[in-house]
Amino acid sequence: MKSIRDPKVDAYIEKSAEFARPILRHLRKLVHRACSTAEESLKWNFPFFVHHGLLCYMGGFKQHCSFGFRRQGMNEILRKDGRLSSDGMGSFGRITSLADLPNDKTLLRYIREAVKLNEAGAPVRTSLKPRPPAKPPADLMAALRKNKNAATNFKKFSPYQRREYIEWITEAKQSETRVKRLATTIKWLAEGKPRNWKYMNC
């Protein structure tokens, strides 16, 4: 059975930013090379590849692209290789050029691993107990006390939305990065924006 290509995906790629087109075409080619029976579909305004369920997806934004997998097991594989990124949507973070992607051999291996997980019926996400509310760090609390709008909006946000900001700040590896993230957090909170507001209407 040959790969089934969807004209809507062709249209999606052509409408994407100029820098994104070669990236999306390359990812599409690799998916079909790794899984010759993959079908294409446009879901939630993004191209998805289907094989025994949703296999992987890609997206083109104004300044970057994304590529990711649906099965929880892929997170473990990518994390072990040091490839898993939390910077934006997708498994590999913000992709601005082909150089930001793993080499073809590695990407093909990842896609084939995802195929195996799908065929085995692996769960999309693990069953975990609800996580306790994330505790805001001291520097965030101090900054919120100085900005009433930011504090009010932070309080209105869901526990998940608050956690996104808290983890973004606390996961910074350098103090300079943390200071910049904290300043950005307060700015966005004052405007009523969740952490990933840039991707909400893309």
What's residue 166's pLDDT?
93
Flag whether 131 is in a domain. Answer: no
What's this model's pTM, rounded to 2 decimal places? 0.61
Domain count, the chain: 2
What's residue 133's pLDDT?
78
21-43 pLDDT tens trace = 999 999 999 999 999 999 998 88
Flag whether 108 is in a domain. Answer: yes
> Do 22 and 59 fall into the same domain?
yes
Give percent of the chain above pLDDT 90: 58
> Do 31 and 112 fall into the same domain?
yes
Using DSSP bridges, classify how beta strands 39-43 and 46-50 pair: parallel, antiparallel or unpaired: antiparallel
Cβ–Cβ contacts within 10 Å for residue 81, how many?
A: 12
Flag whether 171 is in a domain. Answer: yes
**Contact residues for 23 (Cβ-Cβ < 8 A; gap 6+):** 60, 65, 95, 97, 98, 101
> Do 109 and 14 fall into the same domain?
yes
> Do 110 and 181 fall into the same domain?
no
> Do 152 and 76 fall into the same domain?
no
| Lateral strand order in the sheet of 39-43 | 39-43, 46-50, 54-60, 65-69
Flag whether 60 is in a domain. Answer: yes
Instruction: Residue 37: give its domain's CATH number.
Output: 3.90.1150.200
Flag whether 146 is in a domain. Answer: yes
> Do 43 and 88 fall into the same domain?
yes
42-53 pLDDT tens trace = 888 889 999 998
> Do 111 and 16 fall into the same domain?
yes
Grade residue 4 by pLDDT with cuts at 50, 70 and 90. Answer: confident
Q: What is the span of the domain harbouring residue 109? A: 7-119
Angle made by CA atoms 84, 87, 90, in degrees to the nearest 5: 60
C-alpha 28 chain-centroid distance: 17
CA distance 41 to 104: 23
> Do 96 and 143 fall into the same domain?
no
Give the relative orientation of helices 20-34 and 104-119 as an angle to the nearest 10 degrees: 50
Flag whether 59 is in a domain. Answer: yes
> Do 23 and 112 fall into the same domain?
yes
Flag whether 156 is in a domain. Answer: yes
Flag whether 77 is in a domain. Answer: yes
> Do 186 and 99 fall into the same domain?
no
